[in-house]
C-alpha cells in the first residue's frame, strides 16, 4: 500500500501547469526540475505549457534532459510582450481551444510559487470535486520591508475601493468550467485574479507562503507592480467608483450639517466666521467630487456596449506558434 506522501490525487488525472515566462529561462527551467521532483514523489503526472511572452532572450535548447513526471513540455510563443496577465489569458485560451483540461494549475515561473504547494492545491481541488477554484493565499512574502509596506497600503486601498482584501496572486488551480468562463471574460485580459473575483465562481483559499526566486532578478520594476495593482482595481472600476460616490455623498452630508451648525453658532458669536467658510468650501469640493464620480459611473455603464477583447476569440492573433520541447519533436 502506498503511503499518503505518494498517493495520487484522485479526480485530477489530466493536469496542465501554465506558466508565463519573459526572459526568465534559468528560473523557469530550475522550477521545472523542482516540479519533476515533487510530482514524481507523489506519483503524479502533468503537462507543462510555458507561455513565452515575447522574450528577447533565446530559450536554451536541450536543457531539460530526462523527465518522467512531466509528460510533456510545450512553449507557446507570443508575437510580442503583452505582460504576464495577458500571457495567462492567452495560455488558458490555448488550452481551452485544444481540448481543455480537467485541472489547470496557474503559477509564476520564477519559483516564488512553491512547487511543493502544487500537490496541496490539487488535493484541495479534488476534495471539492473540482467545483471550486483553489487560490493560494499569501500568508507571508519574501520581498523586502519597503515592498511589504507598499503592499499593505495597496491591500488597504483594495479593501476600501473593492470591498475585499487582495490576498492572492496567480497561483491557483481551476477546472474546465472555470476556464471556459474566464476565457470569455474581457477582465481576464487585464487581471487574472480580479477576473476570478468578478466571475462569481466558487473559490477557496489555501494558505501558501511566497517562496524566494529560484534564479535571477525580478523582471517587474516598481512602476510595473503599481500598474499591476491598479489593474486589479480597474477590473472592479464600477464598484470602486460607486463606493467613491457613496463615500463622497456621506462626507457631503456631514459637511452640510457642520456648515449649518457653524452658521447658526456664528450668529450667536459662538464660533468665528472662518469655521463656516471652511465647511462651506469643503462642502463645495465634496459636491463637485460627487458630480465627477456620478459622471464616471455613467461613462463606465455606457462603455458596457463597447467592443471588448475576448481572450478565447482574440488570443490567436498574438500566437506565433507552439512547439513541444519535451519529449523533443522529431
> Quick check: is 188 in a domain?
yes
150 in the same domain as 88:
yes
Taking the CB of residue 55, how many other CB atoms lie within 10 A of it?
17
> Quick check: is 8 in a domain?
no
> Quick check: is 9 in a domain?
no
136 in the same domain as 76:
yes
pLDDT number for residue 272 = 81
262 in the same domain as 151:
no
Compute the distance between CA of residue 301 and CA of residue 310 in angstroms, rounded to an integer.
18
**How does DSSP assign 137-203, residue by residue?**
E-S---S-HHHHHHHHHHHHHHHHHHSS---EEEEEEE-HHHHHHHTT-GGGGT-HHHHHHHHT--E
321 in the same domain as 296:
no
User: Where is 264: in which H helix or E strand?
Assistant: helix 237-267
Secondary structure letter of residue 316 according to DSSP: G
Burial level of 285, CB count in 10 A (0-12/13-18/19+)? middle
Compute the distance between CA of residue 126 and CA of residue 142 in angstroms, rounded to an integer.
29
Compute the distance between CA of residue 208 and CA of residue 139 in angstroms, rounded to an integer.
6
β 103-106/133-137 pair status: unpaired
> Quick check: is 4 in a domain?
no
Rounded to the nearest angstrom, the gap between the alpha carbon of residue 247 and the centroid of all alpha carbons in its chain is: 27
> Quick check: is 229 in a domain?
no
247 in the same domain as 205:
no
> Quick check: is 190 in a domain?
yes
Taking each helix axis from N to C end, the angle separating 237-267 and 145-162, rounded to the nearest 10 degrees, works out to 80
For the four alpha carbons of 145, 147, 148 and 150, in that order, the dihedral sign comes to positive
Q: Can you tell me whether residue 85 is helix, strand or coil? A: helix
78 in the same domain as 42:
yes
Compute the distance between CA of residue 89 and CA of residue 313 in angstroms, rounded to an integer.
11
Secondary structure letter of residue 237 according to DSSP: H
141 in the same domain as 270:
no
Compute the distance between CA of residue 37 and CA of residue 179 in angstroms, rounded to an integer.
27
pLDDT number for residue 8 = 43
> Quick check: is 161 in a domain?
yes
Q: Which of 82, 121, 86, 127 is nearest to 104 (CA)?
A: 121
Q: Which domain holds residue 284?
A: 238-305
The model's pTM is 0.82
111 in the same domain as 149:
yes
pLDDT number for residue 13 = 65
Taking the CB of residue 136, how many other CB atoms lie within 10 A of it?
26
269 in the same domain as 156:
no
pLDDT number for residue 142 = 58
250 in the same domain as 152:
no
The number of folded domains in the chain is 2
243 in the same domain as 115:
no
Query: In this structure, are residues 169 and 193 in contact, taking their beta carbons and an 8 Å threshold?
Result: yes
CATH number of the domain bearing residue 49: 3.90.550.10
Written as tens digits, the pLDDT of the chain (330 aa) is 334 444 444 445 689 999 999 999 999 999 999 999 999 999 899 999 999 999 999 888 876 778 889 999 999 999 999 999 999 999 999 999 998 788 999 999 988 899 999 999 999 999 999 999 999 987 765 566 776 777 777 778 778 888 777 777 899 999 999 999 999 999 999 999 989 988 999 999 999 888 776 666 665 566 766 777 777 777 888 888 888 899 999 999 999 998 889 888 888 778 788 888 888 899 999 999 999 989 888 887 777 766 688 999 999 999 999 999 988 876
pLDDT number for residue 307 = 67
> Quick check: is 209 in a domain?
yes
pLDDT number for residue 1 = 35
Secondary structure letter of residue 17 according to DSSP: E
211 in the same domain as 252:
no
Amino acid at each position: 500500500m502506498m503511503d499518503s506522501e505518494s498517493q495520487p490525487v484522485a479526480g485530477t488525472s489530466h493536469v496542465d501547469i501554465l506558466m508565463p515566462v519573459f526572459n526568465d529561462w534559468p528560473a523557469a527551467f530550475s522550477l521545472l526540475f523542482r516540479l519533476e521532483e515533487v510530482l514524481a514523489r507523489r506519483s503524479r503526472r502533468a503537462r507543462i505549457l510555458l507561455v513565452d511572452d515575447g522574450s528577447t532572450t533565446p530559450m536554451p535548447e536541450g536543457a531539460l534532459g530526462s523527465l518522467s513526471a512531466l509528460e510533456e513540455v510545450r512553449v507557446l510563443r507570443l508575437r510580442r510582450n503583452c505582460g504576464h496577465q495577458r500571457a495567462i489569458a492567452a495560455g488558458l485560451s490555448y488550452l481551452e481551444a485544444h481540448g481543455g483540461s480537467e485541472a489547470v494549475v496557474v503559477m509564476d515561473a520564477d519559483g516564488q510559487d512553491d512547487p511543493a504547494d502544487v500537490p496541496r492545491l490539487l488535493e484541495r481541488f479534488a476534495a471539492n470535486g473540482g467545483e471550486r477554484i483553489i487560490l493560494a493565499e499569501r500568508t507571508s512574502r519574501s520581498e523586502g520591508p519597503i515592498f511589504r509596506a507598499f503592499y499593505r497600503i495597496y491591500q488597504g486601498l483594495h479593501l476600501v475601493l473593492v470591498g475585499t482584501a487582495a490576498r492572492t496572486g496567480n497561483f491557483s488551480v481551476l477546472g474546465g468550467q472555470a476556464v471556459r468562463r474566464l476565457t470569455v471574460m474581457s477582465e481576464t485580459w487585464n487581471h487574472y485574479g480580479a477576473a476570478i473575483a468578478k466571475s462569481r465562481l466558487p473559490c477557496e483559499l489555501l494558505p501558501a507562503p511566497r517562496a524566494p526566486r529560484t534564479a535571477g532578478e525580478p523582471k517587474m520594476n516598481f512602476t510595473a507592480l503599481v500598474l499591476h495593482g491598479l489593474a486589479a482595481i480597474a477590473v472592479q472600476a464600477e464598484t470602486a467608483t460607486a463606493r467613491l460616490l457613496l463615500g463622497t455623498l456621506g462626507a457631503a452630508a456631514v459637511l452640510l450639517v457642520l456648515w449649518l451648525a457653524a452658521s447658526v453658532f456664528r450668529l450667536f458669536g459662538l464660533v468665528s466666521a472662518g469655521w463656516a467658510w471652511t465647511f462651506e468650501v469643503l462642502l463645495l469640493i465634496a459636491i463637485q467630487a460627487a458630480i465627477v464620480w456620478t459622471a464616471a459611473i455613467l461613462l463606465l455603464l455606457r462603455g458596457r456596449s463597447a467592443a471588448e477583447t475576448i481572450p478565447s476569440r482574440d488570443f490567436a492573433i498574438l500566437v506565433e506558434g507552439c512547439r513541444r520541447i519535451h519529449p523533443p519533436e522529431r
